């Protein structure tokens, strides 16, 4: 998730205070409060870093302070902001100061420190409690992912959720693929029980749907950013999926075979992207795009471990700001769990570092030092990540490539799952009394050619569906923005599939550096020169050749062999 920043409102250690009503105080101290806001974010980032890996940070803390010291700073700064920000009147302020004040008020009101490691292990069982309020039920369902999704039992060993997805593209025997697929059953049962209206997920989605009627949901926010209504967003998703239905053939397949069918490129090239090389490949690619992640001090936490968050994410450790006339750089961290390599994990890692690149590009005042709307930052992270499935990228960084058809099918079969989950998320929030298994079966059978299995809750493998219903629209509808941005870059800068040293400076200046200075919708319109449109994505899907079987021939690069070296959804 996220972006892939993860600031889920789970089990707040310091409960979100109710902000008092604005008074007639002056706004003369806005600059002072903005500095306090920057300190507040530094403390929040430090505590979140320590909590994400207690074994590493609890003893020595971070940046010269213990967790307790950072927590004290966080609490003090937050208390001051909660008290004083609402008292800043907007009368007489510039438009930018008004926006800065509003953004800080919203961020502080929504802030809540999460439990240590973002993985409340031991609380999945709480989801059975029928009287839980929505935040507690979502926390319990999130805990189910932490406890079960990273401990799937297959052939007398444990595998993580991400590793299982990668293995489903490679396991050659259908019976073994089915067995691996069914290893998710304990997770499905924990989330949706027997599928009856009283199941944990169905109780949660009814409460989430009710809550969405009183405040803006992720679906409303995503549609607003794109410039369409939620109803039009649903039509866009259906149109995208129907295009895939037409270009991807008509043979039906079992759900445990879906990833295998789209995994020809993964099987052909997986050995060129082993686990030990993932970080080196990612580093080299971004360096070729004009960004040295290593020199930027990005913190990586990529190995599986017990109690680790059950999803990949990227977050701020420290946000950049001006100090004594010089820019103090941003520090970010990337967290994921990779026990296997392959194109899928590499694509996810490049995506996460797309968030890191976005964060590092920000050069603005503290109130605007964030990434904008979720649909935008999720979409942008895929702009460089999609290139992992371009043959030109594969030849340069892996030394050989899969056929274009296989590569594109590998990319878009995964993207279409995100679009399907987005449509599922949207429909469940609109019709929360519907049976989720039937909703998912209708979507995947109609558009993805997957045989019906309404007895299986195989939709329940994305933590976003339970932690923040509606969030999947940021991935599914975000693919439209990704394709649009990629097309605009190609027009304005040229190709970047195999690197382009001008890319990072060019995109930072035109799209990233101002952060939340402007509304995301307006920023996108200015960058694209027009409203967001699905046309670029539909054209990209048209590149997918319809073949029932794609030979796994490999194409050696005549330019450069693959290079090794030390060195995510």
Torsion of CA 205, 210, 216, 218, to 10 degrees: 10
User: What distance in Å separates the CA atoms of residue 284 and residue 399, rounded to the nearest whole number?
Assistant: 14
CB contact set of 540 (below 8 Å; sequence gap of 6+): 408, 412, 483
**Phi, psi dihedral angles at 299 (to 5 degrees):** -95, 125
Higher pLDDT, 564 or 118: 118
For residue 543, what pLDDT band results from cuts at 50, 70 and 90? confident
342 contacts 387 by C-beta, under 8 angstroms: no
Among 230, 213, 229, 200, CA closest to 427: 230
- Torsion (CA) 382, 109, 137, 464 in degrees, nearest 10: 0
Segment 87-101, tens digit of pLDDT: 888 788 889 999 999
Q: Quick one: pLDDT at residue 464?
A: 93
Torsion-angle region of 449 (φ positive above 0: left; ψ -120 to 50: alpha; else: beta): left
**What is the pLDDT at residue 235?**
98
Task: State yes or no: pLDDT of 567 exceeds 70.
Answer: no
Q: Is the pLDDT of residue 442 over 90?
A: yes
pLDDT of 450 strictly over 60: yes
Q: How far apart are CA 265 and CA 133, in angstroms?
A: 45
Tokens of 35: 């500095």
> Can you tell me the mean pLDDT for 507-533?
97
Euclidean distance between the first and the last CA atom of the chain, given in angstroms as a whole number:
7
Mean pLDDT of 477-485: 98
Report yes or no: 498 and 393 within 8 Å, Cβ to Cβ.
Answer: yes
Least confidently predicted of 84-88, 359-363, 481-485, 526-530 = 84-88
pLDDT band at 545 (very low <50, low <70, confident <90, very high): low
The average confidence (pLDDT) of the chain is 89
The single-letter DSSP state of residue 564 is: -
Q: How confident is the model at residue 466 (pLDDT cuts 50, 70, 90)?
A: very high
pLDDT digits (tens, 9 = 90+) for 281-332: 999 999 999 999 999 999 999 999 887 888 899 999 999 999 999 999 999 9
Q: Residue 321, SS3?
A: strand
The per-residue b/e assignment along 305-332, b for 16 or more CB within 10 angstroms, e otherwise, is eebbbbbbbbbbbbbbbeeeeeeeebbb
The rounded Cα 206 to chain-centroid distance in angstroms is 24
Taking residue 465's Cβ as centre, other Cβ atoms within 10 Å add up to: 24
User: Of 74, 12, 79, 8, which Cα lies nearest the Cα of 44?
Assistant: 74
Structural Rg of the chain based on CA atoms: 23
């Amino acid at each position: 998730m996220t972006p892939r920043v993860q600031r889920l409102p789970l089990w707040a250690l310091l409960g979100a205070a109710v902000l008092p009503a604005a008074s007639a105080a002056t706004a003369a101290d806005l600059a002072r409060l903005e500095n306090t806001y920057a300190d507040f974010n530094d403390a929040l980032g430090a505590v979140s870093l320590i909590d994400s890996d207690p074994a590493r940070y609890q003893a020595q803390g971070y940046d010269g302070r213990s967790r307790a010291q950072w927590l004290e700073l966080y609490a003090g700064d937050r208390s001051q902001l909660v008290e004083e920000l609402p008292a800043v009147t907007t009368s007489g302020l510039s438009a930018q100061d008004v926006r800065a004040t509003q953004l800080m008020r919203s961020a502080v009101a929504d802030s809540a420190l999460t439990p240590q490691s973002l993985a409340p292990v031991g609380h999945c069982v709480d989801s059975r409690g029928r009287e839980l309020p929505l935040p507690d039920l979502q926390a319990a369902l999130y805990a189910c992912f932490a406890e079960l999704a990273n401990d799937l039992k297959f052939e007398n060993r444990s595998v993580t959720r991400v590793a299982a997805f990668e293995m489903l593209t490679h396991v050659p025997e259908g019976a073994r693929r089915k067995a691996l697929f069914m290893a998710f059953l304990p997770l499905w049962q924990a989330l949706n029980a027997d599928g009856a209206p009283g199941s944990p997920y169905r109780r949660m989605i009814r409460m989430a749907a009710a809550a969405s009627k009183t405040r803006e949901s992720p679906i409303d926010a995503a549609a607003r950013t794109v410039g369409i209504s939620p109803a039009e967003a649903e039509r866009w998703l259906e149109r995208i999926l129907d295009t895939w239905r037409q270009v991807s053939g008509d043979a039906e397949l079992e759900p445990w075979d879906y990833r295998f069918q789209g995994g020809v490129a993964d099987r052909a090239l997986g050995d060129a992207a082993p686990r030990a090389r993932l970080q080196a490949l990612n580093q080299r690619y971004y360096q070729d795009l004009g960004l040295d992640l290593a020199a930027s001090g990005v913190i990586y936490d990529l190995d599986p471990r017990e109690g680790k968050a059950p999803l990949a994410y990227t977050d701020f450790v420290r946000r950049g700001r001006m100090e004594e006339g010089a820019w103090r750089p941003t520090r970010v961290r990337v967290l994921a769990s990779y026990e296997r390599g392959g194109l899928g994990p590499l694509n996810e890692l490049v995506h996460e570092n797309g968030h890191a690149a976005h964060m590092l590009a920000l050069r603005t005042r503290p109130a605007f030092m964030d990434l904008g709307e979720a649909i935008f930052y999720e979409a942008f992270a895929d702009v460089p990540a999609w290139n992992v499935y371009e043959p030109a990228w594969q030849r340069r960084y892996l030394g050989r490539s899969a056929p274009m058809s296989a590569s594109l099918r590998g990319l878009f079969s995964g993207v279409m799952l995100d679009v399907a989950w987005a449509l599922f998320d949207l429909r469940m929030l609109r019709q929360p009394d519907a049976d989720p298994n039937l909703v998912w079966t209708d979507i995947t059978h109609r558009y993805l050619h997957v045989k019906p299995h309404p007895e299986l809750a195989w939709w329940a493998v994305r933590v976003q569906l339970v932690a923040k219903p509606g969030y999947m629209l940021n991935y599914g509808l975000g693919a439209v923005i990704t394709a649009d941005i990629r097309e605009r870059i190609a027009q304005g800068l040229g190709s970047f599939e195999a690197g382009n040293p001008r890319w990072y400076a060019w995109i930072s200046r035109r799209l990233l550096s101002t952060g939340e200075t402007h509304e995301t919708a307006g920023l996108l319109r200015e960058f694209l020169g027009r409203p967001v449109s699905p046309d670029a994505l539909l054209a990209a899907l048209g590149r997918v050749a319809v073949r029932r079987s794609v030979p796994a021939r490999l194409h050696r690069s005549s330019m450069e062999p693959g290079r090794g070296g030390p060195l995510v959804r």
